[in-house]
Structure 1
């Protein structure tokens, strides 16, 4: 299988961490996409992924799967190792809930701020911007950080006692926040400690 992405970007990082957690990084081929050059918006790429986004997974039979959550679910199902999505209905539901909160409230909110209220990726790629919307999303990202900190006051990880896809999404979201200069308050000590713990995992540190 192939993963089309650009190394170092936040959403591709989510998939790369998931692969590493499953010990499957060497079982896929990474195909670099020139996002800064607009390759993801080319007709050739949109034929495979009409979302015009990375990452994208292409299976050996030509099936293309976009969207991080869908890609991660496939990875979790086909490779051995502890599940990142949960094993019981209750676990799966809680992980899915926390993953969406981290994605919508942090990852996507930071992304909206970056693409709308800053120069983003430059005028060639940022063809429409609404600064008011972007700045509102920055507020949402900050509120979500505080919420996650409160969750971590009583839990080792965001969805309970086990590392999951929710932790991957939030970790990548905080990295994006650093890049976009959305401050992570030092007062959020639970979030800061969790981040350091996650950063030390072999899937990230190694």
Structure 2
């Protein structure tokens, strides 16, 4: 298998954590995609993934799978023992519900703020930003508020249970963790009073797969 990504960036890190959790890192050939140079927006890459985003997993039959949730589903189920995406219908339903919230209420909001209300990754990507967003300050303020509201939502969730989807570490924990990492890049701090979120992050930071992702 091949993984098209770039080390250290939030969404690629999500999949590298999955690989470490599943012990699959040695089975992957990593192909670096130069995001600051806008390599992911060029025709060769768009032929692999028309949305122009990383990561993208190429499986052994040549199929390309993009989107972190889909890649995680594939990797987690390869051995018939899904530990990140749920075993029972109830687990799967709750995990995917919280995964959607982790994306829409946190990591996507941070990403929009970072890429469209700040210089982002630099000039090479400027031409690929959404031209209809002319008032960057207004959009940035709205998305930053949404991200901060997402942090407060997950703090409340974690006041009742140890992990985002319940009693066990799963896919949405990885997404919320990556969202907070991205927020740090974007200079959106986690408020000090979100004590449950801070305590959860400390536990996740200590996981071997997070300390040493694939």
- TM-score bucket (shorter structure): over 0.9
- Structure 2 CA distance, aligned partners of 1:82 and 1:70? 13
Point out which structure has higher relative CO (alpha carbons under 8 A, 6+ apart): 2
| TM superposition score normalised by structure 2 | 0.93
Deviates more, 1:139-148 or 1:27-36: 27-36
SS of residue paired to 1:14:
helix
Q: Deviations over 1:128-180 (max 9, x none)?
A: 35312222011000001001000001101000000000000000000000010
Q: Extract unaligned runs of 5+ from structure 2.
A: none
Aligned to 2:15: 15
State the alpha-carbon separation in 1 of the partners of residues 23 and 126 from structure 2.
36
Please give the alpha-carbon distance, in whole angstroms, between the structure 1 residues aligned to 2:81 and 2:117: 41
In 1: Cα distance, 2:36 partner to 2:124 partner: 9
| Counterpart for residue 172 of structure 2 | 166
Give the counterpart of 1:190 among 176, 179, 196: 196
Contact 1:17 1:204 in 2 (8 A): yes
Which runs of at least 4 in structure 1 moved beyond 4 Å after TM superposition? none
TM-score (norm 1): 0.96
Unaligned runs of 5+ residues in structure 1 are none
Distance in 2, Cα, partners of 1:159 & 1:181: 27
- Mapped to 2, the partners of 1:84 and 1:158 lie a distance apart of 12
Give how far 1:202 is off. 0.5
Equivalent position of 2:150 in the other structure: 144
Which stretch of structure 1 is more off in the superposition, 114-123 or 151-160? 114-123
Question: Residue 59 of structure 1: CA displacement?
Answer: 1.2
